[in-house]
A and B are shown apart, each in its own frame.
Chain A
């Protein structure tokens, strides 16, 4: 086993974290199952889920990622005093949070579909929700790590994490709407596409709703996006941008982790 894998497995032994992840999984399972019972068929449950997923997954990823780094500070120091190289340690720590978090989400949402036979008429839609939720978990865990490594002080780090979440989920929509209203005389489609690429939550929303043929629900940016790229190309672009959102904060965090003082 490589060092990273050892660290990764070592982290999973943590009982507290296992309990927390199980609670997270159960929450999604209960939510999804409830939506099935009240909403009826698979596709409808998927759409209702989408809104919860787009709000909650980023919040949990950010808070879990940030808190984990602060809580593990002494553990990190202990590991760094061992003959351990910093990059391997970072990958082990990050993987130990992002993978179980994405995994509990996937299981929590996936299992109720399985026992409710939801795959029959909405297999592709479910796969999409599961994949984009997992991608958002990974993206925001990485951002949480980056924030915690950037801000020495726990209170300011958590503050920045919460403000980032508000900015990505609530403020962003408001700002886009406001600018569309104010600038309606001007051709702002291109800047809007740019605006969409800089928000991973919006990317996931557009990706999901384009694929689910619900462009009307994708909001203004989604409509512009669909017209500009068409559905297929739009999905590729938003998927690529989302992947960049997973990779860039991860690499930036790793760089910072390798260079900083503990």
Chain B
């Protein structure tokens, strides 16, 4: 473990449970997300990754347990989300607004806070922002989605399958942004089902299986305990060991 001693985790999760109808999606999650590091949230389909993220964003109300973001417990008060930037799997913008209007709407909602337009330059989409979202390609929407996540200089960034729909060049630009902001102290929580994708980014791994935490720690430690150099076989070994 290479965590800074004394630094409180950016996110702490304790005893989190959520049931949808008959299926228990989160079955008592205890985990902590290290501050200023990139944590890969991994696990097979239906492991509970999306539900965990949605609980974190207040979109889903857990049945039991607590979530603490930056020392503030997640409750009905939305103020804790000021420090969070979120990039959902699919770009969620109203089709009839232009890119400028979407970003303007977000800025109005956030109020007067400093903004970061750097990704617009890096993606080279400044010229696309005057067009309506409906006429943008899927890739461009996804770029706008990433711009929105970093727009308000968040201290915690949540990216849900960020590489899906991005071309390789944009993907590289986003990865550079992730590493650069991480080095400036921003906490990242990234889901991906392509493990090789997150390999070069992740410092930490949070592995979910059937709604339970099966690993929550650093990538280096994971390599040590499994004897595998790469993330994919290492996690494969962890999953086998549990069977």
Contact = CB atoms under 8 A, between A and B. Distances in A.
A10 interface: yes
A14 B133 CA distance: 11
Q: How large is the interface on A (under 10, 10 to 19, 20 to 34, 35 or more residues)?
A: 20 to 34
Contact of A74 (B88, B96, B97, B105): B88
Max count, chain B CB within 10 A of own CB: residue among A17, A74, A86: A74
Contacts of B92: 74-75, 77-78
A74 B95 contact: no
Interface string A80-105: 11111110000000000000000000
Interface in B83-117: 84, 86, 88, 90, 92-97, 101, 105-106, 108-110
A74 B87 CA distance: 12
Query: Main secondary structure on chain A at its contact with chain B?
Result: helix
Contacts of A75: 92-94
B58 interface: yes
Contacts of A86: 78
B97 A13 contact: yes
Nearest to A78: B92
Contact of B86 (A13, A81, A259, A261): A81
B153 interface: no
A16 interface: yes
Contacts, number: 74
A262 B59 contact: yes
A261 B59 contact: yes
Contacts of B101: 10, 13
A206 B199 CA distance: 69
Contacts of A85: 76-78
Given A77-B88, A80-B59, A81-B84, A6 B96 contact: no
B95 A16 contact: yes
A15 interface: yes
B11 to A, nearest CB: 15
Interface string B32-63: 00000000000000000000001001111100
17 contacts: A6-B105, A7-B109, A14-B96, A15-B132, A74-B93, A75-B94, A78-B92, A79-B109, A80-B57, A81-B84, A82-B106, A82-B109, A84-B109, A85-B78, A261-B54, A262-B54, A262-B59
Interface of B: 20, 54, 57-61, 76-82, 84, 86, 88, 90, 92-97, 101, 105-106, 108-110, 132, 148
Given A78-B92, A81-B58, 13 more contacts: A74-B88, A74-B92, A75-B94, A77-B59, A77-B88, A78-B88, A80-B57, A81-B57, A81-B81, A82-B109, A84-B78, A85-B77, A261-B59
